[in-house]
Amino acid sequence: QKEVEQNSGPLSVPEGAIASLNCTYSDRVSQSFFWYRQYSGKSPELIMSIYSNGDKEDGRFTAQLNKASQYVSLLIRDSQPSDSATYLCAVNPANFGNEKLTFGTGTRLTIIP
Amino acid sequence: EAGVVQSPRYKIIEKKQPVAFWCNPISGHNTLYWYLQNLGQGPELLIRYENEEAVDDSQLPKDRFSAERLKGVDSTLKIQPAELGDSAVYLCASSPSRSADTQYFGPGTRLTVL
């Protein structure tokens, strides 16, 4: 089992709709969870972080975390063509001094005008 | 504030040749990371530095890869000799603290091994 799993997509969503991206992780003691956006040919850019169970909203983005189910998701409301990118889920176990990010393979999102 | 700087941005070499990548982190960032990203995959950590000390190099293929950060600022990642499977993007990231939570990525170096 991979440490961080994502549906690789591609995921196509009409402009203005809600895009839902999902991620599961295997290390139950993981503490920190992140969503990075990566445009084609560019480097990853942090867009959301979440540390506690529940929802965290930032503009059109909402991150959801469920540690019991080892599941984290990202919702993008009112999707725009500029949201078309690959979204990487990353997890930091942050235990016993083990500070590192483990990334999923990413989900490629396309917003259809 | 200047971001993470990497050079070169692109490199094409023949297999068995050596290659080196350079990274200058954001000023004041003590923690530096080198990642490898294959096409269609997420970044994979190669090595993490805290100042000049390599604190996690467990994923670095030490038979052909080496890295240094002699003065705790800029860093060099070297491959010698390069193999076809080394073709990838090599990303450098830096963080202002020991926590891996806040990382800023450089633009990356795209390596093609022929």
Residue B101 or A106, more confident:
A106
Average pLDDT score over residue span A4-20:
93
Comparing CB atoms, the residue among A43, A88, A98 nearest residue B108 is: A43
Say which range, A37-51, A86-100, B16-30, B69-83, has the weakest mean pLDDT.
A86-100
Cβ–Cβ under 8 Å, residues B59 and A100: no
Comparing CB atoms, the residue among A88, A101, A106 nearest residue B100 is: A101
The model's confidence at residue A30, banded by pLDDT at 50, 70 and 90, is confident
pLDDT at B64 over 80: yes
Average pLDDT score over residue span B12-18:
97
Specify the pLDDT at position A77.
98
Find out whether the peptide bond into A10 is cis, omega within 30 degrees of 0.
yes
Distance from CA of B77 to the nearest CA of A (A): 18
Rounded Cα gap, residues B53 and B98, in angstroms:
12
B:6-65 residues touching chain A, CB 8 A cutoff: 40-45, 48, 56
Sheet containing B65-68: give its strands across.
B5-7, B19-24, B75-79, B65-68
Q: What is the pLDDT of residues A47-105, one digit of tens each?
A: 999 999 999 999 999 999 999 999 999 999 999 999 999 999 999 876 656 678 999 99
**Tally of CB atoms within 10 A around B98:** 13
Q: Could you write out the DSSP letters of every residue in B2-13?
A: ---EEE-SEEEE
Angle at B79 between CA B77 and CA B84, to 5 degrees: 130
Specify the pLDDT at position B83.
96
The model's confidence at residue B99, banded by pLDDT at 50, 70 and 90, is confident
Contact B41 A106 (CB under 8 A): yes
